[in-house]
Structure 1
Amino acid sequence: MVFTELLTIDTLTLTLGAKQFFVDVEREDLFQESSDASVDSDSDILLSAGLIWETPLEGAELFAGYAENFKAIGDSVLERPDSDLDNIEPETSETTELGLRYTADNFSATATYFQNDFENRIIFLDNNTSAGNNYLIGTNGTYFNAGGIESDGLELFLDYDLSETLNLYTSYTLLDTTYIGSGNSAVDETQGITPGNDVVGIADQLYVIGLDWNSEIFYGGISSKFTGDRFVDLDNSWTADSYVVVDAYLGMNLGEFSPALRGANLNLVINNLLDEDYLGTVVSGGAWIGAPRTASLSATIDF
């Protein structure tokens, strides 16, 4: 169910919304070796609101937003037969943002402060642990909601047309993401969570700058992305160092050579142009080496 209402008064625009999801997940063992199971994953009514104020300065506006969301309980929780599911609820989040946006003929910029609270994190406790509430423990352990993640940060974005053929863009993100404790130190210890520690795999800073060029026949661009330090383990004792990766592309509009080739393009893309060594994807307790310099050539046709 979704309901949205738009109200505009002079320079103020207010948007209100509400939605609700109805999700049921069932598990059926066709070999009858374990009990069937089901879980109700319906959401509460999720509210959202947005406000935009067009300031006296032409092209500048202030905006604010609030949104509630949820994550339906996945089928993975049904993969442990005879686990207790009686007290499990969907994970939820609340997001708030406040920002300033400016747009001119060849220039646009945005500054946004945001805060996100992720709660009701679903965790599993085995039935041989003393942590958690004893009445929850099923014959194969229990799932229940505890803790979550708090995050807040600042995003800056700039887009500038240097000329009819050149465009410069850049963005910067500052992030602070930490784990919320469950309120039970034994549960936190079982999960390896230390309340207040930074979230695994989330960089504290991200910075991107790029330049795009476009002419009638040729087009191309180059961009550089900086990724700040990231913690690899829950204890925050192992850090994946920051790194910079440069990507580039060059394309050709073949339709400019012949009407028969209209809609055809040839594209060369080079990722990690400087062949930087770095740790790419990070998960709890591990990290994968980032891809080396790679190049690809492709042709596309639009009909």
Structure 2
Amino acid sequence: MRIKLSPLAISISLALLASHAVSAAETETDSAELESITVTASADASAEGLSPKFAGGQVAEGGRAGILGTKDNLDTPFSITSYTNEFIQDRQARSVGEVLQNDPTVRVARGFGNFQESYFIRGFILNSDDIAYNGLYSLLPRQYIATELFERVEVLRGASSFLTGANPNGGGIGGAINLLPKRAPNYDLNRVTVGFDSGSQANVSADVARRFGENDEFGVRVNAAHRNGGTSVDDEESELNLFNVGLDWQGDRLRLSADMGYQNHQLDETRTNVTVSGLSDIPSAPDASDNWAQPWSYSNEKNYFGTFRAEYDLNDNVTAWAAYGMRRSDEANSLANIEITDAESGDGLMGRFDNTREDRVDTGEFGFSGNFNTGSIGHDWVVAYSYFQLEKKNAYIGEFGDGEFATNLYNPQYIDQPAFLFGNGTFSGNELDSPSLNARTKFNSFAIGDTLSFFNDQILLTLGARHQSIKVEDYAYNTSERTFYEESEITPSVGIVFKLTNQVSLYSNYIESLRQGESVDTGLGYLESLEPYVAEQYEVGLKYQTDTLGLGLAYFTTDKPRAINNNGVVEQSGEDQHQGVELTMYGMATDDVKLLGGVTWLDAEQKDTGDETFDGNRVIGVAEWQATIGAEWEIPTVAGLAVDSRVNYTGSRYADAANTLKVDDWTTVDIGARYLLQLGNQDLTLRARVNNLFDRDYWASVGGYEGQGYLVLGAPRTVTLSATMDF
């Protein structure tokens, strides 16, 4: 266990202060009755509710900074953006990835081997099963999360182990994503949406909410959705069925919330990744609508999940909370990824690969928070414990060598589903019909923090640390031979905010990201896992925010240790150093024009790798420049009409660590329109959108799994139409 003396001393001091605050807190007093007009949507069962929308309604005024709770942008030493449900609807986003296409600091990729969404944040990969739901990790569907399931998408940029705990699946070094569930508002909600996408995909969804009780203290919100049909890619089809219930109860001192959900997502003949290892050039991007997937390929995922959260005011200064969440999921697929053997001609090989998986997630947390003063110094303190367990069952069978068949990227060859040969080229693990336990991950952590305020809140100093234990058990395929490790680590954090004026804040932070050890191929027929390691981040920034417009400027540097195979001995050697500058903007440029976006410069360098071929090279899949600029114009001469546009740019990237396979940059343009009209007492909103307006053919991402340089082709021009009735 690595202990840093200064942060540890700070943590002990904070613990003593927190204990003093609890013992000295005033006895419980009666509070005013809750009136229905004061009830607000509270995704996390907190008294404060959601952060209010900022001018323009596209983002919120702040977001959740982990265990520190919801903070305004100018008051936190971290960079957070919270995208609202209003914005999600207006952009007709279907998934978390489609929401984050609007973020200039994030690029959407695809996970390894399947169709899981992945996200590059500050150049580090975060997979969709590492997303938090209301502060708890890995509760929502692992591969694809539909937008009907959440109210907001919050992006916390940078390391966050003190704030959120270590990410259970190894991501999170560059940032965290938290989704907030939907809650019943103050008014009766009856909303039905019908839509149609190019490629013949139709969709329908319903969003209904009510509040009950003498003071509207009990809320119910139900969401259901169905999508089915083809996509804009040839012969590709998908189907989604979703149902979710969100409950909340708000009393004088006690607040409760719960969510129960189901999502079934099925993909047929979905276009696969493109493997380019061993090539000397990158193949040209095919036509964006082409599909080389085999007609028998599919990927199905079914998920059941639920959460419960409670918060109770022990007195006017101390609040206790507790939460529990679970997920049960089943996956099955039959795939055939393409491996290119000749970049110029597009010739390649495919081999059938089938996989089944079952996940069982249980997680929870409880804690205390409060405030007190020592003289002129204010304290907002928090103490929290969290627990996470994932049990994963897996099985697979695939073909190499004689079991592979020829195809071509530009002229695909389609065959009937081949039978497995069970020869020298067949590889398998466990039984597909009954997958066996493959891994068990257990995390336990204890965190303590305090935000000290000086000079009437002009200076805010946040100090904290988290002690986290990680236990990982791996069970070998076929033999179930068990290997495991159990380690613990303390990750401190220090952040400071100087509020120069009511509109300008300077901030700085030091924070770490704890990650479970990587598994590396020894070349001797087995994998070897390293001990957990820590990535360190330093960040300084400037925030400017008026009543209508916000700007952010941040410089950061993050060092992540690397793992290598040194003649069969797995060890840590060298690091990936990511340093960058982020410029973000949001709000209203004029009374009629909304802005959202920014620019990111990122230098992601491999250092001291032990191989001169790699030293100084860029990290796979990370562009030096990327930008997203979005604007919306509410046309003043036509009531209810708004038009918008978005430009996305991603610079060139490399598909290999040696930086010999350079992938071209790309730019896409998207446009949309929205028209709101009243039909009697009902509101009807018509929306139209065209993504990739000029039908650009491009490699949208390079790798969505660390160390892998496979390519994902960008979607073709896609038209989306929808009508929403509120009644």
Q: Does TM-score exceed 0.5, indicating one fold?
A: yes
Alpha-carbon shift at residue 299 of structure 1 (Å):
4.5
Task: Provide Cα deviations, 1:99-137, integer angstroms capped at 9, x if missing partner.
Answer: 111112322222111111112x344x3xxxxx34xxxx5
Task: Provide Cα deviations, 1:59-104, integer angstroms capped at 9, x if missing partner.
Answer: 1111111111112247898xx976555xx21132111111111112
- Is the Cα–Cα contact under 8 Å of residues 654 and 709 in structure 2 kept in the other structure? no
- Is the Cα–Cα contact under 8 Å of residues 35 and 81 in structure 1 kept in the other structure? no
d(CA) in 2 for partners of 1:106 and 1:250? 22
Identity %: 28
- Is the Cα–Cα contact under 8 Å of residues 89 and 145 in structure 1 kept in the other structure? no
Which aligned pairs between 1:39-50 and structure 2 lie closer than 5 A?
A: 39-40=485-486, 42-50=487-495
Residue number among 498, 515, 521 corresponding to 1:71 in the alignment: 515
Alpha-carbon shift at residue 285 of structure 1 (Å):
4.2
User: What SS does the aligned partner of 1:202 have?
Assistant: coil
d(CA) in 2 for partners of 1:164 and 1:300? 25
- Count of residues in correspondence between the two structures: 272
Q: Which moved more, 1:155-164 or 1:223-232?
A: 155-164
- Is the Cα–Cα contact under 8 Å of residues 519 and 528 in structure 2 kept in the other structure? no
Q: Which amino acid aligns with 1:257?
A: L
Q: Which amino acid aligns with 2:546?
A: A
Q: Is 2:463 aligned against 1:19?
A: no
Q: Is the alpha carbon distance of 1:300 and 1:286 closer, same or farther for their aligned partners in structure 2, counting shifts above 3 Å?
A: same
Q: TM-score, normalised by structure 1?
A: 0.78
Residue number among 284, 288, 297 corresponding to 2:721 in the alignment: 297
Residue number among 706, 711, 718 corresponding to 1:287 in the alignment: 711
User: What SS does the aligned partner of 2:508 have?
Assistant: strand
Residue number among 527, 544, 549 corresponding to 1:102 in the alignment: 544
Unaligned runs of 5+ in 2: 1-445
The residue aligned with 1:128 is none
d(CA) in 1 for partners of 2:713 and 2:542? 38
Q: Is 2:579 aligned against 1:152?
A: yes
Q: Is the alpha carbon distance of 1:299 and 1:89 closer, same or farther for their aligned partners in structure 2, counting shifts above 3 Å?
A: farther
Q: Is 2:616 aligned against 1:217?
A: no
Alpha-carbon shift at residue 212 of structure 1 (Å):
1.5
Q: Which amino acid aligns with 1:71?
A: R
The residue aligned with 1:257 is 679
Q: Is 2:624 aligned against 1:204?
A: yes
The residue aligned with 1:181 is 608
The residue aligned with 1:51 is 496
Task: Provide Cα deviations, 1:111-164, integer angstroms capped at 9, x if missing partner.
Answer: 111111112x344x3xxxxx34xxxx5xxxx54333321011111123352333
d(CA) in 1 for partners of 2:603 and 2:518? 27
The residue aligned with 1:172 is 599
Task: Provide Cα deviations, 1:265-294, integer angstroms capped at 9, x if missing partner.
Answer: 443232111212222111344423322111
Residue number among 248, 254, 257 corresponding to 2:671 in the alignment: 248
Q: Is the alpha carbon distance of 1:30 and 1:92 closer, same or farther for their aligned partners in structure 2, counting shifts above 3 Å?
A: closer
d(CA) in 1 for partners of 2:699 and 2:476? 41
The residue aligned with 2:554 is 112
Alpha-carbon shift at residue 169 of structure 1 (Å):
3.3
- Is the Cα–Cα contact under 8 Å of residues 485 and 531 in structure 2 kept in the other structure? no
d(CA) in 1 for partners of 2:543 and 2:509? 13
Q: TM-score, normalised by structure 2?
A: 0.35
d(CA) in 1 for partners of 2:556 and 2:460? 20
d(CA) in 2 for partners of 1:103 and 1:196? 38
d(CA) in 2 for partners of 1:2 and 1:34? 35
Unaligned runs of 5+ in 1: 126-130
- Is the Cα–Cα contact under 8 Å of residues 83 and 143 in structure 1 kept in the other structure? no
